[in-house]
Amino acid sequence: MRFGLTLQRSVYPPWKDHYIDYKKLKSLLRENESQRHDDDFASSWTENDEESFVQELINVQLDKVNAFQVQTYARLRERTSAVEAKLEPLTIKRTESPLPEEQRKRVAEDALKELDSISNEVNLLEKYCRINFTGFLKAAKKHDRKRGTFYKVRPLLQVRLAELPFDSEDYSPFLYRLSTMYAFARQTLGELPPAPSPSDGPAVPTVQDKPVKETHTYSSYKFWVHEDNLLEVKTLILRRLPVLVYSPDVSSRDVDMPLTDPSFTSLYFDSPRFKLYNQRVNRGAGSTLRLWWRGLLADDPQIFLEHIKTGEDDRISGEVRLPIKEKYIKSFIAGDYSLEKQVGNMNITDSTRAEALQKDIAELQKIIKEDKLQPVLRATYNRTAFQIPGDDRIRVSLDTDVATIREDALDLDRPCRDPDDWHRRDIDDREMTYPFPEIRPGEISRFPHALLEIRVRDDARKGSKEWLADLMRSHLVKESPRFSKFVHGVAELFEDYVNSFPFWLSTLDTDIRRDPEDTQDERERKRNEDHFAAGSFIGSLKDSHRIPGPDHSAFEDTAHRRPPRGSITLGVTDAERLRTASGSIPLHINQPDEVPQRSGSQRNGSNESRLDDTPQFKTGIRTYLSRLQPRRRQREEPVRLPPGVEAPGTWIKDSGPLRVEAKVWLANQRTFLKWQHISVLLATLSIGLYNAAKSRDDSTASILATVYIGFAVFAGVWGYGVYIWRSGLIRKRSGKDFDNVTGPLVVCLGLAIALVVNFWLKYSEFQRNKQVHEGKPLPIPDRPIWALNMTTSGLASIENEAVLVNQAAIQN
């Protein structure tokens, strides 16, 4: 798509006069001139033309865009300060505040509305800056390509852009302010539990320093987020969850300090043959070993050692996480230090738990020694975390600036890391940060997208999942359920050392941005495939195993293939096998709030016994009707569109020229010919019967023949009418049913009645003949009796028999 059309579609109408005038820049470049020879065209470009273009691009358009960005951002900061001032009286305790409770809630509601407006405008401002920045680069590129080697404007533009803030503005501190006010306003309204806050200042987001031990089971969902959608995703999340501040010493004096997303570093271990990597890629039982810390290593952060075991079903079967000092890491890897002091400092009162931890540490050192594990990969990223203070039922993390760096010493001639050390000194001593320009290209891989991970505790309220469902099924994110920084880094940087690669590498270079309407159409298509593949089985499971509310489809469609920690997976039913075979993901039925807990025998019982006990699986007409329910329900239930998406007035299938396969027309014509065949057969029989009746002046036979002719005419007219009607439906692309049973019913019932009448007449004739042979008087019928289904050859024999009957009656 040409950028001019993209810019036109991206314009926010109230700001349309403040965008880059791309058409004017193109006119200054004389884009519409006829194609000429390059030398002639270059010679026609004068110094005055160059000066006019540069003046318009650098001094007019760029200054206009930058001035509007600065003005708008300053206005947003003023509005934010006004909201803070409005919320300031609410920071006083309710027992000491002179404001009544109703007024406090009214102030909080007004603040939330204003914060929503500010968040929307921040998102629009970021998109405004991005599209204009792209426009300036496009104009400079077009200029340099047309001017050849005589004039270059892009270097000048890049220097000028570096001096202006409109493209380099960091919105993270501003979002932290919005998050704090969102959390405080929702706490005032009672939507969030109260959070610990300083007594002499406003509430601050949750402080997170040490890892929290997880005693619950979680369901994990992972997504990729394009850079263009990053700020929109952030603003969408912070309206519901406050930002989690990773700082051990947040106090009242730090509240006004600008906050930024903290950086994290993970150091992954593996063997020279990449045993742990192969286990992860092949989905076998394995483990992951890493060291991780927050911030720069030169700042002496707290370092954590983490070892996670996974089973063949990719479930976490064991986890060890404990702090370790930097001076003990090298000796621990070598097996000379057992971390007894660290375990003692953890104040574990349960002796059994302490012994189990010591056993796990000893086993970990044994694995390091036997498999020759060593640091091979470093992953760095900035993390923005969202979580309600004191409530870990929903955790959301957004990782940006993700980079993986080689940390190995596999090549002894040119090692990336000193083999006698546990980390790269060139990175940590020089305090390198993203994008690490000093690292050689072959030693670093920068991930092009942001990583979004949503973790929902099993006992989370269903109502709190609705906004998550809207996010997960929106066009802003792309599902990547099995993504791992460790696996991705090894696959990118150690291509010559491994033979298995993750599937997401093939989609890494593709554009993950999607149109909102395309996202809705794709979700409907998947839903239709599920209905078609599973039939009535899906209907039976949906009523008993789904999460109530509109969020079920998103959680079902984006369910992580790996079961949550500590969860027990129920037996797979036939319906789930059908869904898996159709390319969809099985229903998530291991949530304790979705289905009642079952005993071990029930959980491991046969699938057939459970299906046989279900009424929907009984045979007969009920089974047939139940299979029609999903499609009928699909037509009756209104489609719930995502925010910002409107129902189209014209379907895509109706927008192009009419293209109908030939077999559709031929099928309609074959049906028409069948009806004409029936009409000809009935007409032939009727005319033969009518001619035979007229030769003897028989009115009854004539009437019956006329009735048959009526059926023949009806069949011909009906066949032609249905043919014309269905042809019209095909041309209109109508979704109506093509079935119409009126014609077949009329013909079939008419023939059935004719056969019954024919049988009755033949039976009456048989009774009269029987009376003649027995010597009983035979009543003379008012009219001769004729069979309805006689042929021309049979008319003569029946006529002779009728003459004999009449003569016998006269003699008697």
- Distinct helix (H) and strand (E) counts, the chain: 27, 11
Say whether 164 sits in a helix, a strand or coil.
coil
The predicted pLDDT at position 787 comes to 41
pLDDT attached to residue 658: 61
- Would the pTM count as exceeding 0.75? no
Measured over the CA atoms of residue 125, residue 128, residue 134 and residue 135, the dihedral's sign is negative
Dist CA 708 CA 761 (whole Å): 17
Superfamily of domain 230-249+256-507: VTC, catalytic tunnel domain (3.20.100.30)
Q: Which residues lie across from 303 on neighbouring strands? A: 324
Q: What is the biggest distance separating any 2 CA atoms in the chain, rounded to whole angstroms? A: 137
Torsion angles phi and psi, residue 412, rounded to 5: -65, -25
Q: Which two tokens stand for residue 295?
A: 């911030």
Q: Where are the alpha helices (DSSP H) in 55-90?
A: 62-87
Candidates 440, 435, 367, 355; CA nearest to 403 is: 435
| Mean pLDDT across the chain | 73
The low-confidence residues of the chain, meaning pLDDT below 70, are: 1, 31-43, 93-98, 147-150, 166-169, 191-216, 246-259, 284, 311-317, 341-351, 460-464, 523, 525-646, 649-660, 698-700, 735, 774-812
pLDDT of residue 379: 95
The phi-psi region of residue 120 (left if phi > 0; otherwise alpha if psi is between -120 and 50; otherwise beta) is: alpha
* Residue 729: predicted pLDDT: 82
Could you give the dihedral angle defined by the CA atoms of residues 7, 8, 11 and 15, in that order, rounded to the nearest 10 degrees?
A: 110
Spatial distance between the Cα atoms of 773 and 809, rounded to a whole number of angstroms:
12
Parallel/antiparallel/unpaired status of strands 243-244 and 263-270? unpaired
Within a 13 Å sphere around the CA of 8, how many CA atoms are in the beta-carbon half?
Answer: 6
Reported residue count of the chain is: 812
The amino acid occupying position 666 is L
pLDDT in tens, 479-505: 888 888 999 999 899 988 887 788 788
What percent of the chain is predicted at pLDDT more than 90? 11
